[in-house]
């Protein structure tokens, strides 16, 4: 069965520092991959998506992610974190059998001044 793993439950970074959130997926073929952000009490906002082609994808708010087939990874990066980036981040893959999204457990990002 398809699954998405986010190894880090909680990450704290200093404002202005770089960020990398890890995501691994389990499926042989190339999945459709997404990163979402969710602020407390809010819905999900799509940051970026990967379907095919260039393995480095750019998203909103200065985020990017790189798809690495050899490592089954789709890590999210940002060169300089802002305090407003503090939120929960979910990596997701589209289920090939049902069309819904399969989510990782999420990584909570805290930003310290």
Residues binding other proteins: number (CB under 8 A): 22
User: For residues 75 and 103, which CB has a smaller minimum distance to other proteins in the complex?
Assistant: 103
Nearby residues of 6 by Cβ (< 8 Å), 6 or more positions away: 21, 22, 23, 24, 89, 90, 91, 104, 105, 106, 107
Instruction: Tell the smallest beta-carbon distance from residue 50 to other proteins (Å).
Output: 10
Residue number with CB closer to other proteins (18 or 61): 61
If binding is defined by CB under 8 A, does position 59 make contact with other proteins? no
The set of residues, in sequence order, having a beta carbon less than 8 Å from that of 99 and lying 6+ positions away, is: none
Pick from 7, 2, 3, 26: nearest CA to 76: 7
Binding flag, residue 100, other proteins (CB under 8 A) = yes
Query: Which residues of this protein are in contact with other proteins, per CB under 8 A?
Result: 32, 34, 36, 41-44, 46, 49, 51, 88, 90, 94, 98-101, 103-106, 108
């Amino acid at each position: 069965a398809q699954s998405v793993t986010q190894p880090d439950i909680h990450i704290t970074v200093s404002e202005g520092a770089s960020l990398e959130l890890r995501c691994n997926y389990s499926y042989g073929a190339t999945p459709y991959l997404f990163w979402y952000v969710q602020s407390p009490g809010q819905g999900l906002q799509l940051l970026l998506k990967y379907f095919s082609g260039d393995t480095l994808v750019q998203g909103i708010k200065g985020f990017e992610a790189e798809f690495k087939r050899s490592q089954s990874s789709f890590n999210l990066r940002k060169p300089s974190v802002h305090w407003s980036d503090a939120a929960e981040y979910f990596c997701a893959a589209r289920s090939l059998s049902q069309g819904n999204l399969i989510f990782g457990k999420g990584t909570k990002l805290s930003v310290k001044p």
